[in-house]
Structure 1
């Protein structure tokens, strides 16, 4: 018994017709197909199909044989695919982490730089908070991360990409939305949405240093970027978030710049100094090119 016998039998059983199976599925002549089915039945030793002017019907033996034939064919195809994969050179694995939201700006530029390596490299993307990215770098699960410069991160190195100004988020129908920029004192009388000092310590510190002199304390605390935007929309309050967050705003939320000199947070590339990945070294050597690509793209 050969695999083609199983393939022919399955095609006839599913089409319910020798003619349709021969023409539509197998692209062979009907007499040849009939002969193959007879050969299969002879080898199995029982009648599998009943032929009539109305088409083909499976016998009880044929119905039992069909399930096993499908399984055998599937396993044969899986074995073939496994052999082909095993014969290919192993692909390198390179894991890149992004502070949630930054992948929109930076991932296309990174992939462009890695283009020559992609056929032999499997790129894995992680989207997490900065402390989680630092943990991934430390334990070796992530090779490179776009993140904040975490203080409690032994063994990690950081390279500055840019300083992101904080902007003010508010509902589209908020009274302050009519203004072109927002002063610190404008925030003092509003419901304020803060960020988590645990999940976003760098941003939390920048906001706290900026608003502490005017006595603003958060009425609500967001655990992540999405929650911050949602709280602004649902409470009618105001929040401060890095500039990149404006790429993720729904239509009901708008952003305004801070008047004067706004506070900033550093965006860095983080990596483990013990990581010897050639791809990591390649990207670090092309940081200027990477920054240029992102700047060029965002200015269009």
Structure 2
């Protein structure tokens, strides 16, 4: 089955006007030429699309069905060049974004909202992966953008910090520090059993906790890999935890959160991508992120 867009346009015009002569006038062509086009289309499709009469034509049952598809094909063909231009310019297209679970608490929703506002025709596909899994997926070309904790290997990837927040203290209800109003001094945490992290196979959060208290004052309790596990163990009175402020959004019953007095190390989240990316949509997202996050 081979037919042309010109034949489809001729068919749609005849269907809409119900007359070859009027349809030919609207297309600025001759009636015999239009008639040959429609006949060629009917031969290609293999069915009669019109019932012809002395006063005009009417669509057959098959013609009614074919008209719907013909209009859709013409609409797609007319929009395809502009779609290709938008994709080439990075205003449309698709990017695959991976995120760690902590990003869903602090960054993912506002970041996606802003990107959707700036690049409304961009499709963003999401997948949750650990930081190590994201770096491997980026290297393999399976994702375009990752949301990870540092450090980010700079030989292969580029990165932009997209979120920073302080550490706060998670305490079980009834803990003597939970009874205090206001922020808790870091010195008050000395000798307290503190849950330590190996999040995503790195020591990033653990190192921040040690930096806050000093290695000589850090009393390690259970080792965990997820913030949700840390909060569950706090509730079970297996220790206290230093968590990013956004972790309070999990709202664990039996867990109270307190700010840390003074300056606290900031927990950061980075967007990272391959330096050699050729995806125009991703390049636009990167430019937007850098412009948005400039001091």
Bin for the TM-score computed over the shorter chain: 0.5 to 0.7
Question: What pairs up with 1:114-263 in 2 under 5 angstroms?
Answer: 114-115=116-117, 122-152=123-153, 154-179=155-180, 180-196=182-198, 199-263=201-265
Tell me the secondary structure at the aligned position of residue 166 of structure 1. Answer: strand
Q: CA RMSD in A?
A: 3.1
Tell me the secondary structure at the aligned position of residue 250 of structure 1. Answer: coil
The number of residue pairs the alignment matches comes to 209
Shift of 1:291: 5.4
- Contact residue 166 and residue 240 of structure 1 kept, 8 A: yes
Unaligned runs of 5+ in 1: 1-83, 293-300
Shift of 1:266: 2.4
- Contact residue 222 and residue 238 of structure 2 kept, 8 A: no
Tell me the secondary structure at the aligned position of residue 220 of structure 2. Answer: coil
- Contact residue 130 and residue 147 of structure 1 kept, 8 A: yes
Q: 1:217 to 1:129 in 2, by over 3 A?
A: farther
Question: Using the alignment, how far apart are the partners of 1:197 and 1:147 within structure 2?
Answer: 11
1:103 aligns with 104
Shift of 1:270: 0.9
TM-score in terms of structure 1 length:
0.60
Worse-superposed segment, 246-255 or 210-219: 210-219
Shift of 1:236: 4.7
Q: 1:147 to 1:215 in 2, by over 3 A?
A: same
Question: Using the alignment, how far apart are the partners of 1:264 and 1:200 within structure 2?
Answer: 16
Question: Using the alignment, how far apart are the partners of 1:200 and 1:164 within structure 2?
Answer: 19
Shift of 1:201: 2.5
Question: Using the alignment, how far apart are the partners of 2:241 and 2:210 within structure 1?
Answer: 12
- Contact residue 131 and residue 149 of structure 2 kept, 8 A: yes
